[in-house]
Amino acid sequence: MIRSFGMIDIFYLLAAARWTIMLTVVAFLGASLVGITIAVFRVVPFWPLRWFAVGYIQVVQGTPLLVWLFGLYFGLSILGFPVNPWFAAAVAFSAYGGAFLGEIWRGALVSIAKTQWEAGASLGLSFFEQLRYVIVPQSVRVAIPPTVGFLVQLIKNTSLAATIGLVELTREGQLTSAATFRPFVVYLTVAALYFLMCFPLTQWSRSLERKLHGAR
Amino acid sequence: MALVELNHVTKRYGALTVLDDVSLSVQKGEIIAVIGRSGSGKSTMLRCINGLERIQGGDITVDGVRVNDPATNLRNLRQQVGIVFQSFNLFPHLSVAGNITLAPRVVKGKDPGMAREVALDVLRRVGLEDKIDAFPDELSGGQQQRVAIARSLAMDPQVMLFDEVTSALDPELTGEVIKVLEAMANKGMTMILVTHEIGFARRFGSRVVFMHQGRIWEEGAAAATLASPRTPELETFLNAVLH
């Protein structure tokens, strides 16, 4: 039976938006862990790690996120390892986001002049001490705006998790649309909710960019 | 035994030979002024002494420890050898105190209170104790360079390397950095300076080393060598910088 689109549906969509936020948080944390590792591997003075990181970034950036999600969720269960969709989503988003964050953060690290590394080395600091006390604190300023930009992309990309059965905002929109047969209104509401999540972040990122630019 | 010893050192960048069979021996307390045109290998020689650059042939030892031995702990070596760069290379995100105390805290494990005492002491030696909480971008070039010298001194090195430390400064600011160098010279610090300050080399250098095309072309007692060069290359060079 087709019912009309009412307050109750908006509450359902809001409830589903919580899962979008949860997914984003999990994905961002996982991607940060992978990203830090990849960024450091990229600058470490030991070529096998650098090559590994380059290869990882190439492979992940050259494959669709959807394929990772399907591969982990459906592929593993066919092989006899049934996985929880949350687990599959967390792993896929971490692997995918880690490659992008790794590249963003590597860019921030190498933007710091080589002479800063040398000054640290000359004082007897080890590679990781140079990284921790000299390079990272300076590159954080450079890294924040593109990192927030990535986070906005990530929020929207979590909608792909709908394809493996997670009922987040987009999936809830599909269900509501099917029940009410009012796709235009429903998806407009869904879009508005995504916008409400992303807009403050882009504004924040812009103000950070302005601030950091002014400080130069 | 010599404090710093270079034995037939060769350094190449690809096909380009930057240091060609360079031998030099520096005794404790000596002040060596290294002069020569840009591209003659002066700065590269300094950077090899503290292991910032690898060498392809020969041997470098500091206080009996081989710099170019993979087994050598560069961390220990660099505590013995301070270096000051042309462009200061202070850490812009740290205050003067932060710049100076970083290595004593992290490398030598001093507690923050003791490290700050050290910072005050070395800042007094360069005449900047009132700037201890300033940030590098609040200081003039001369002051930044004096902080960089203080930062090296805080590690209590046995030898100090200076890589054209006044070249980025105007004459007025050069004077205040030279004064600090003179004070260190008078205290008996072993110093190797790549410099264009011939006057300083004459007054304070125990020896002058003239580099040309990656080789030590001429060396000798500072005043005598500068007054009467033996090679036409040094004569040409001195005429060019003194006039």
Query: What is the tens place of the pLDDT at every residue in A146-170?
Result: 999 999 999 999 999 988 888 889 8
**A32 confidence band (pLDDT: 50, 70, 90):** very high
pLDDT at res. A216: 43
Domain spans of chain B, in order of start: 4-90+158-242
DSSP B41: S
Quick one: fold of B4-90+158-242? Rossmann fold (3.40.50)
pTM given for the model: 0.88
The total number of residues written for chain B in this structure: 243
The residue ranking higher by pLDDT, A77 or B242, is: A77
**Angle at the Cα of A96 from the Cα atoms of A93 and A102, rounded to 5 degrees:** 120
Q: Residue B122: is its pLDDT beyond 50?
A: yes
Integer Cα distance of B40 and B227 in angstroms: 21
pLDDT(B64) > 60: yes
pLDDT tens per residue across span B144-203? 999 999 999 999 999 999 999 998 888 888 999 999 999 999 999 999 999 988 888 888
Cross-chain residue pair A124–B78, CB shorter than 8 Å? yes
- B83 contact residues in A (CB cutoff 8 A): 122
Whether the pLDDT of residue A215 is over 70: the answer is no
Cα(A134)–Cα(A194) distance, rounded to whole angstroms?
A: 38
pLDDT at B72: 84
Q: Is the pLDDT of residue A85 over 70?
A: yes
* Rounded-to-10 torsion of CA B152, B154, B159, B162: 20
Q: Do B103 and A123 touch (CB under 8 A)?
A: yes
Packing angle of the helix pair B112-125, B141-153 (nearest 10 deg): 130
> Chain B contacts of A125, Cβ < 8 Å?
75, 102-103, 106-107
Provide the chain A residues 98-127 that lie in CB contact (below 8 A) with chain B. 115-116, 118-126
As beta bridge partners, residue B211 has B216
Across the beta sheet with B31-35, what order do the strands follow? B81-84, B159-163, B190-194, B31-35, B207-212, B215-221
- Report the pLDDT value the prediction gives residue B73, as an integer from 0 to 100: 85
Phi, psi of B208 (to 5 degrees): -115, 135
**B83, B91, B152: residue with CB nearest A134:** B91
How confident is the model at residue A126, as a pLDDT?
93
CB of B234 closer than 8 Å to CB of B210:
yes
User: Mean pLDDT: which of A128-132, A143-147, A202-206, B50-54 is highest?
Assistant: A128-132
| Shortest CA distance from B151: residue in chain A | A123
Task: Report how many Cβ contacts below 8 Å link chain A to chain B.
Answer: 53
Name the residue with tokens 């080789």. B215
> Rounded to whole angstroms, how far apart are CA atoms B63 and A166?
67
* All domains of chain A in start order, with CATH: 7-214 (1.10.3720.10)
> Cα-atom radius of gyration of chain B, to the nearest Å?
18
Nearest residue to A197 via CA among A21, A27, A25, A12: A21
Q: Is the pLDDT of residue A205 over 90?
A: no
Distance CA B191, CA B197 (A): 14
What share of chain B has pLDDT > 70, as a percent?
Answer: 100
Question: Dihedral angle at the C-alpha atoms of B124, B128, B129, B130, nearest 10 degrees?
Answer: 160
Residue type, B7: N
Please give the Cα distance from A197 to A155 (Å, whole number): 8
User: According to the model, what pLDDT value does residue B197 have?
Assistant: 87
pLDDT for the residue numbered A83? 87
CA distance A108 to A149: 14
Give the angle subtended at the CA of B93 by the CAs of B88 and B98, to the nearest 5°. 80
Quote the distance between the C-alpha of residue B69 and its chain's center: 22
Residue A47 tokens read as: 């070529």
Would you say the ipTM is above 0.90?
Answer: yes
In this model, does residue B243 exceed pLDDT 80? no
CA-CA distances (angstroms) from residue B42 to A162, A176, B13, B88?
A: 64, 75, 15, 18
Best of A116, A122, A129, A216 to disrupt the B interface (most B CBs within 10 Å) is: A122
Place of tokens 């450091």: A40
Partners of B4 in beta bridges: B26, B62
Name the residue facing B78 among A115, A121, A137 (closest C-beta).
A121
Query: Hey, how many other C-beta atoms are within 10 angstroms of the C-beta on B188?
Result: 11
At A80 the pLDDT is 85
User: What residue type is B164 in one-letter code?
Assistant: E
Run of H or E including A196: helix A183-214
Please name every residue paired with B207 in a beta bridge, in sequence order, or none if there are none: B32, B221
pLDDT of residue A214: 52
